[in-house]
Each structure stands twice: as structure tokens, then as C-alpha cells.
Structure 1
């Protein structure tokens, strides 16, 4: 799983915040970007996200309505796992990651690891 681009991330943020599937027009109306992207740009990005299985879609009248295939936490976990899988040296990658997180996050990670091993 590759990282999302800037517009993909903005669109996914809109979809993750929504309580129901959204049409292209609804996504476009919820984006706060200047300049506002074109309708066809948002439609293309959503179609690409669908082809990558990042969103699902269903017909709503004549339009498609989109929703995330995974919750934000699940998506982020998949992205992190993908980085580890592509690493030539997982231990070195993990060590660098741990070196970049703060003391509170490190303590939380230790606590989660302890819980997982019980």
C-alpha cells in the first residue's frame, strides 16, 4: 500500500468524517482547498481510490457514492505494515521509527506490546 497524495488524503479525511457514503459532489462540497479542485479531478481521484480498493462505492441514483474500505486506524496500520514488508532490514526500520516517536508514544507502545503479549 503506497502513501496517499495530498488531494487523496484530503478526500479520505472527508470520507472518514462522514457517517454515510458520499457522492463526488458532496465530497467536493466538503473539501476546504484553495483553489477548489474541479469536479472531474475529484471524480478521477475517487475512481483511482476505488481501483486501489481504498474506497468502495455504490449507486445512488445516477451517481456513485463512496465510503472508505477501511477505518482510518486500520488504513494507517496497513500502511505501516506495508513499509515494514518492503524494508530490507525490518529491525533497522523499526529502530529508526522508535527513534522518531516521543517519550509518551514510546510508553504507550510499550504498554500496548505488554498487553498484546499477555
Structure 2
């Protein structure tokens, strides 16, 4: 998966934060609080994101509205899978990643694995075995 461009990410960030459909005018007005940007530029990039499958487009009167087709978490997970897929030694890459995680992130990873019914081998299961009863 290709990382979103700067303006693509800026548009997606707003829509993820707002958690609702928005018009290009709303997005432009919000961006223009920090820097000037033309309406047509945002319209073009929103259309590109729609064609790439990142946005859902609908009509509200005469204006198009846009909302995310995927969550921020889906995007982040896709980037992580892509990065992991670029190495020939996945276990080593995962180890390096986990070594640099905060204790809070390690706890979150452990909770995520448990919610999927998985445990790390040193947590009471042998590799390939299911969780112990």
C-alpha cells in the first residue's frame, strides 16, 4: 500500500477526526485556518481519494460530500503489513519493532492477541498449539 500524500493525509485526518461526511468547502475552510489552499486543489485531491477507494462520495443538495471508506486504524494496519512484507526476515523485523514499543503498547498488543484467541509462545502455549484451558 502506498502511503497517502501530504494533502491526502490532511484531508483524511480531518474526515477521520470529524467522523461524518463533509463537503469540500468545509475541508477547505478548515485547512485555510492554518494555510491558504485553493478550493479546486482540495476538490481534485478528494476526487483522487474517491477514485482510489479511500472516500465514499454522496450528494447533499448540489454539493458532493465525502466520508472515509476505511478507518484510520485500517490505514495504519495496512502500512504496517506493507512494511513487514518488505523484509525477508519477518521474525527479526517483528522483534525489532516490539523491542522499541512502550510498555503501554506492549500491553495493547498483548490484549489484541488475546482478543483474537492467540497467545505468544512464552505465555503458556507452545508454538502451533492453541491456548491452554
Q: TM-score range by the shorter chain?
A: 0.7 to 0.9
Q: Tell me, in whole angstroms, the C-alpha distance in 2 between the residues paired with 1:93 and 1:44.
A: 37
5+ residue gaps, structure 2, are 119-130
Q: Tell me, in whole angstroms, the C-alpha distance in 1 between the residues paired with 2:26 and 2:63.
A: 11
Shift in CA distance, 50/87, structure 1 to aligned 2, threshold 3 Å: farther
1:53 aligned partner = 53
Are the aligned partners of 1:14 and 1:31 in contact in 2 as well (CA < 8 Å)? no
Shift in CA distance, 59/88, structure 1 to aligned 2, threshold 3 Å: farther
Larger radius of gyration between Structure 1 and Structure 2: 2
Q: TM-score, normalised by structure 1?
A: 0.81
2:69 aligned partner = 69
1:44 deviation in Å? 1.3
1:47 deviation in Å? 1.0
Q: Secondary structure of the residue that 1:43 maps to in structure 2?
A: helix
2:18 aligned partner = 18
5+ residue gaps, structure 1, are none
Superposed structure 1 runs of 4+ greater than 6 Å apart: none
- Aligned pairs (5 A) from 1:32-47: 34-47=34-47
More helix by share: 1
Cα deviation code 1:68-101 (max 9, x no counterpart): 0012222222332233334433223322322332
2:126 aligned partner = none
RMSD: 2.1
